Structure 1
């Protein structure tokens, strides 16, 4: 059975930059069995009131950002989709009580293709995206993950792609100034330490209440969408998932780039 993963994709330009997270993603695929397909719950695929599942056989690469190098805008990730698997996922979500539908004409946003172009550069494994709902909370997204929990047993790799911390108002000035090794504020470290500790303790109850319990939750996540993919990955692993930190670094001081694997207890 495959683990599920949470990956912090950070700034889109980690696809061309040399950061610790870039180096980590380049070696990630070599640490696990080859999946037959990849399902990504991306912070950049949002749908209100239902779950959308990308269903194209040949998805396009979406450059859903601005202000970066031409090299980044020229990149393509030509992995195939898997319409049959997309339909199966919609059926599983529907049977779990989650309204769901296949989304046609939906390509790969940078939350999917940026980490995948580093981790699986051959682009020869089918990829499907699953939406998050920005109006719903952590418990909802954990339940969404639970509805996908049969996929790892079918050799499908479930990835939640977001960011462990995501305050762009703080990050963008440092990024524009080239301050990728900027000093890390205490409010970032305190939040990341709390989240990591709760994940490694298996304290799902506290994690679902992170908005109230985690220190500096609002500063690190002014909005929820970049943390919700973590809960999808957590729920898709097992009812009592075991977390293992795979990577920890900081980009621009304020972007925590943690990555975790979740699996069943032995």
Structure 2
């Protein structure tokens, strides 16, 4: 059995840097050994929930610019699984969620940067799923609930996003987090660990500095989906917390 996870993918430089967070990811990959990985990435937005469905090797997508040349040579040649994609499709459709399949799109950096540090051999099938940031927080959570129990089959569900993600006010070179970013994450940790879903679903109104932390929800909704997919009888755990450039949170949960 494996848990559900919310992991911060932060900067693409995670794929080539060595730091506290990359060490954490490597250790996490050693601890959790799934037979397949289902990952919701903030960097694939669609109106209709879309599931990668293929058995061959994914292309590695470099959906960023202005980084060192070395980063554009990294490949993550994971394969997909049409069998598991069909299982996921059936689960979503049973809950009345409209689904499409995609056999062409590669892995974006919301997926491969994390996975390359956790499972560098790229020998575990990956099924990438899009997000629709315009659905309500409650709808995102219910989408995740469609996947409850996958962990008992050793299928790892990952929500890949960031809790505090405001690149417009990032503090390059700053090694300490901005107080408002810490306050937002503190609020979030409290509500998640106490399973105060009503407050979490209203985070935009209730959480301190919510507009600054989440100016656009595409990086936040993978957390809500991962929460829904987790074991409701198990208390959520913070498994990593650090910050980069003042305002970029690397808060991670086991759910």
TM bin, normalised by shorter chain, reads: over 0.9
Contact 1:211 1:218 in 2 (8 A): yes
What pairs up with 1:22-171 in 2 under 5 angstroms? 22-32=22-32, 34-48=33-47, 50-57=48-55, 58-171=57-170
Question: Distance in 1 between the 2:119 and 2:146 partners?
Answer: 25
- TM-score normalised per structure 1: 0.92
Aligned residues: 254
Correspondence for 1:229: 222
Q: Deviations over 1:184-210 (max 9, x none)?
A: 221111101101111111212211111
Secondary structure in structure 1 of the residue aligned to 2:101: strand
User: Secondary structure of the equivalent of 1:246?
Assistant: strand
Deviation at 1:252, TM superposition (A): 0.8
For structure 2, the residue ranges without an aligned partner over 5 or more in a row are: none
**Residue matched to 1:187:** 180
In 1, the alpha carbon distance for the partners of 2:165 and 2:199 equals 20
Instruction: Provide the C-alpha distance between the structure 2 equivalents of 1:234 and 1:87, rounded to a whole number of angstroms.
Output: 22
Deviation per CA, 1:164-200, whole angstroms, max 9, x where unpaired?
A: 21001122x61xxxx152x322111110110111111
Structure 1 runs not aligned, ≥5 long: none
Q: TM-score, normalised by structure 2?
A: 0.96
